[in-house]
A and B are shown apart, each in its own frame.
Chain A
Amino acid sequence: MALLQIAEPGQSQAPHQHKLAIGIDLGTTHSLVATMQSGLPRVLPAEDGSLLLPSVVRYLADGAVVVGEAARQAAASDALNTLVSVKRFMGRGLEAAHQLGDQLPYELVMHDNGMPYFNTIAGLKSPVEASAEILNVLRVRAEAALGGDITGAVITVPAYFDEAQRQATKDAATLAGLKVLRLLNEPTAAAVAYGLDQQHEGIHAIYDLGGGTFDISILRLHQGVFEVLATGGDSALGGDDFDHAIASWIMAGAGIVNPDAEIQRRLLQTSRRVKEALSTRESVPLSLAAGTGGAPADWQATLTREHFEALIAARVDDTLKACRRALRDAGLKPADLSEVVLVGGSTRVPLVRRRVAEFFGKPALDHLDPDQVVAVGAAVQANILVGNKPDSDLLLLDVIPLSLGLETYGGLVEKVVPRNTTIPVARAQEFTTFKDGQTAMSLHVLQGEREMVSDCRSLARFELQGIPPMVAGAARIRVLFQVDADGLLSVSAEETTSGVRAEIVVKPSWGLQDDDILRLLRESQAAAVQDMQARALAEARAEAERLWIATEAALAQQGELLSASELAELQAAVQGLKALAIADDAAAITAAAEALNHASETFAARRMDAGIRQAFTGKTLTDFEEH
């Protein structure tokens, strides 16, 4: 029955040609890369053997970038230039980014393109650029381990990521020089890893609580087909929030107000360790000396597991609400599920495990490393997508997490593709003109479940022009939404009686156009030069100031060592340097400083002689030898 002839992916290749494909879990807290070797998944280690790359990016003054553990260790001491949990900012506007918490130790700047940028010592950096740095390290790691160029990568995203967040992730991968085979939802990837481990048929719930995102996916697994029945979650809820809860508790207890960036980071790092300790211990003692972190007095307290659980109970309940909604969307009851699988580091928290087991009425599975399953699942799919396993039955059928729609009259949203629709999907909706003789129609594409435009995420606006003038209501505008297998949307509109068309691939307002990515690469190099110049000037000024202050102090102390003309010459050099320091010429300032250094050589020599004479006075040779 096939009219379309579609070649099997493997057919055109030589039988033994194995293409290098990787799966990347780009996580909030840490990231991993995995591949398939001899039919088995393997998480690729760094040179030091570590598998998890902390998702931390530090920008240095000289433009160098440090990623991973070394950057993580500087997170507190160099908070403003060290970006942690950058995934939480992906594809989000400035307002949404600020909603992530009032304790963000960053300087966020609104860019012209509507995206928030981090103001670092190396210039403005977008979340996409920072993520690209992480992906780049993983790409290099994979190339070194596999000994060749990577054909393509499957990058995982939270199932609940919206269009803008997905697009931002894809842009980051492109920026890192990776060919993206597919954006794969994290819970689906985890299900693949589990399905691969044991041939489990039936309906499964994947509860994935990471550092900064939460997903719940309900999947049916049947003969290699993973069909997502429903998904839900919160792309700004994760273990980070537990850390913040503990940090707030410490701040309240110790009386810390308005902590600076470094103190915030240290508090969060401490909170994180306390959280991890409470997974195995019943209580953790804490103490803070007066003055540390701005604490007004000595403070000692014990955080019990029970109290910690009370602090985070509401957030855990939020995850269960999302579970209930997903089950309802799938038309299922907890009893219909064969298994519940725990994914993500934050499922190590005992309260999470207990509540999930209670809600679903069955113990949760966690026999695979919750940190690694997502990368492993991504590697399995990458291997298939590059054509290394042409006879595989594995097929992943995912859904869109949030409804897609259009703005209609009165600021209302008309849903065109409801949430949990299997992708790829194409849906058309007809609209008509509102006024007599109307020749253009403005289309506003939105994502979300709410009825009002203002409550949904604005994805794109475009215009259909050249509609032949007709009476109101006579034109037939057919708007087609097409969502591809990555969950990315394109929208086209056509006036069907005349055939006038307009089309747009939805690049959310704060996403990057392909041209932008190239421009960004060039600009970031230019900006680095500019930043270097600014830094050179600041350094020259600081050095000049240090020099004239030292000279003036020495003159006040020991000016009598100089003759009148020598003194005048030196004072002139100081004034010359002070005058130049106001100008923006780093080279001139440095030259004037050199001149002052030169002019003070005689003075310095005489001071040294005088100093040595003074030191010898009243001391015997023996005293000196003993020293």
Chain B
Amino acid sequence: MNLNTDYFSLFGLPVVFELDANALQPVWRALQQQHHPDRAPADDPVAQRQALQMTSHINAAYDTLRDPVRRARYLLELVGQGGDAERVSVMDTDFLMAQMELRESLEEAAAVHELDAIEAEAQDWLDALLREFPLDYVAQDWPEATDCLRKMQFMTRLLAEIREQRERLEDELDDF
């Protein structure tokens, strides 16, 4: 195992989209126990540097594998299809309309409970996309898979914004 080992192999997994997220954590802990800088001699700078790089790689793998959208992106990168997801915009007008409407309601939301509905709808969209992606991926339909990834990234960003808005509203309310 080295810094070029792909994330799936690092965790002893087959290179597929579906995985048991709960199974990742014990493997991650075991890898950390073995490679963490604390396990290398404190006075050996070379061993320390290697440990730093190795654990950074392990942590990057863990962060990528446990998040389905990052995992999808990584799968496409592995087959040389990752670059386009950032550069080409989504052309699906239905999706774009839905997205815009959700954003509008987010901007107008003035109470925490209004956010619940918006979040649920965004999450539904994301869940549907997460079901679609493995089908495109297995069919090696790269344009469709890339398009699906772009939509997932849109929804992920939207969900993050909903979360930030919720935080702002809750902090203003001061209810504990």
DSSP class of B's interface residues: helix, strand, loop or mixed?
A: helix
Report A-chain residues with C-beta under 8 Å of the C-beta of B171.
321
Report if B121 contacts A (CB, 8 A): no
**A152-210, CB < 8 A from B:** 152, 181-182
Say yes or no: B163 contacts A485, CB within 8 Å: no
Contact present for B33 and A225 (CB under 8 Å): yes
Complex CA–CA separation, A424 to B31 (angstroms): 13
B35 on the A face (CB < 8 A):
yes
Q: Is A422 an interface residue (CB 8 A)?
A: yes
List which A394-444 residues lie within 8 A (CB) of chain B. Answer: 395-397, 421-427
Q: Which residues of A contact B165 (CB under 8 A)?
A: none
Among A3, A9, A181, A424, the residue within 8 A (CB) of B55 is A424
Q: Roughly how many angstroms separate A239 CA and B13 CA in the complex, as a whole number?
A: 50
> Are the C-beta atoms of B176 and A395 separated by less than 8 Å?
no
A328 on the interface (CB 8 Å rule)?
yes
> Is there an interface contact between A424 and B41, defined as CB atoms closer than 8 Å?
no
* Chain B nearest CB, measured from A334 CB (Å): 11
Would you call A359 and B39 a contact (CB within 8 A)? no
Assess whether B60 is in contact with A425, with CB atoms less than 8 Å apart.
Answer: yes
**A353 CB within 8 Å of chain B:** no
**Does B1 contact A6, Cβ atoms closer than 8 Å?**
no
CB within 8 A of A426: which of B39, B60, B170?
B60
The smallest beta-carbon distance between A585 and chain B, in angstroms, is 54
| With known contacts A4-B50, A328-B167, A359–B176 Cβ distance under 8 A | yes
Tell me which residues from 206 to 245 in chain A have a Cβ below 8 Å from any Cβ of chain B.
Answer: 222-223, 225, 227
A554 → chain B closest CB, angstroms: 72
B residues in contact (CB < 8 Å) with A: 1-2, 29, 32-42, 44, 47, 50-57, 59-60, 62-63, 163, 167, 170-171, 174, 176
What 0/1 pattern do residues 1 to 37 of A give for CB contact below 8 A with B? Answer: 1111011110010000000000000000000000000
- CB pairs A–B below 8 angstroms (18 shown): A2-B34, A2-B35, A4-B50, A6-B40, A7-B44, A7-B47, A182-B38, A225-B33, A320-B176, A321-B170, A328-B163, A359-B176, A384-B38, A395-B33, A395-B36, A424-B52, A425-B56, A426-B53
A485 touches B38 (CB 8 A): yes
**Chain A residues positioned under 8 Å from B35 (CB to CB):** 2, 4, 6
Cβ proximity bits A470-505 to B, threshold 8 Å, 1 near / 0 not = 000000000000101100000000000000000000
Report the nearest A residue to B167, measured CB to CB. Answer: A325
Summed over the interface, the residue pairs from A and B with CB atoms below 8 Å come to a total of 94
User: B39 and A3: CB pair below 8 A?
Assistant: no
The residue on A at minimum CB distance from B29 is A225
* Contact with B38, one of A396, A426, A482 (Cβ below 8 angstroms): A396
Task: Tell me if A62 counts as interface (CB < 8 A to partner B).
Answer: no
Q: How large is the interface on A (under 10, 10 to 19, 20 to 34, 35 or more residues)?
A: 35 or more
A386–B41 CA distance with the chains assembled, in angstroms:
8
Q: Is A141 an interface residue (CB 8 A)?
A: no
Distance between A473 CB and nearest chain B CB, rounded to angstroms? 10
Measured CA separation A227–B24 after assembly (Å) = 14
- The CB with the most chain A CB atoms within 10 A, among B35, B51, B55, is that of B55
A317–B37 CB distance below 8 A: no
Q: Which residues of A contact B37 (CB under 8 A)?
A: 424, 484-485
B175 → chain A closest CB, angstroms: 10
Q: How far is the CA of A222 from the CA of B27 in the complex (A)?
A: 13
Q: Check if A355 is an interface residue, CB within 8 A of chain B.
A: yes
Bound complex: CA A170 to CA B174 (Å):
37
A520 in the interface, Cβ–Cβ < 8 Å? no
Question: With a CB–CB cut-off of 8 A, which chain A residues contact B34?
Answer: 2, 6
Which residue of chain B lies nearest to A324 when distances are taken between CB atoms in the complex? B170
Contact of B170 with A485 in the complex, beta carbons under 8 Å: no
Q: Report if A358-B176 is in contact (Cβ < 8 Å); known contacts: A7-B41, A152-B42.
A: yes
If A355-B176, A396-B38, A427-B60 touch, does A4 touch B33 (CB 8 Å cutoff)? Answer: no
A2-B34, A325-B167, A395-B38 known; A484 vs B52 contact (CB < 8 Å): yes
Q: Distance (Å) between the CB of A472 and the closest chain B CB?
A: 15
Q: How far is the CA of A566 from the CA of B51 in the complex (A)?
A: 87
Bound together, the chains give a CA A424 to CA B170 distance in angstroms of 32
A397 and B171 alpha carbons, distance in the complex (Å): 29
Q: How far is the CB of A333 from chain B (nearest CB, A)?
A: 14
> A536: CB under 8 A from chain B?
no
**A223 CA / B38 CA spacing, docked (Å):** 16
Q: Does A146 lie at the interface of the complex (its beta carbon under 8 Å from any beta carbon of B)?
A: no
